[in-house]
Amino acid sequence: MAGGFAKDGAVQEQIDATVEDAINRARDQLPRGESLTHCAECGNEIPVARREAVPGVRLCVDCQSERDTEQRAVAGYNRRGSKDSQLR
């Protein structure tokens, strides 16, 4: 932290937030014991079939796909080179 550039600080803050975000998302994806009966995000009931298919599931299909979309966006920022091969 040499300081002197307020702009650098702001950018760093953004990077930190993004990294923290990614970590939180990664954590959310880790199966943790029992599947939830209700979505951790919206509180909707998660169908039994989904709970059995995805051990430790915490999100309903809607929230999961929303999250997947967000993650693809984040992955696009982080690995521009392989973005296309990752998506297709």
Shortest Cβ distance from residue 19 to Zn ion (Å)? 25
Asked if 66 touches Zn ion (CB under 5 A), the answer is no
Asked if 63 touches Zn ion (CB under 5 A), the answer is yes
Tokens 């950018």 appear where? Answer: 11
Find the helix or strand (DSSP H, E) in which 19 lies: helix 6-29
Q: Residues 19, 42, 48, 53: which binds Zn ion (CB under 5 A)? A: 42
Burial class (CB in 10 A: 0-12, 13-18, 19+), 58: buried
Number of helices (H) and strands (E) in the chain: give both, helices first.
Answer: 4, 0
| Contact predicate 54/28, CB 8 Å | no
Binding part of the chain for Zn ion, among 1-9, 10-18, 26-34, 60-68 by CB under 5 A, reads 60-68
Q: Residues 22, 29, 36, 41: which binds Zn ion (CB under 5 A)? A: 41
Shortest Cβ distance from residue 85 to Zn ion (Å)? 30
Give the footprint of Zn ion on this chain (CB under 5 A): 39, 41-42, 44, 60, 63
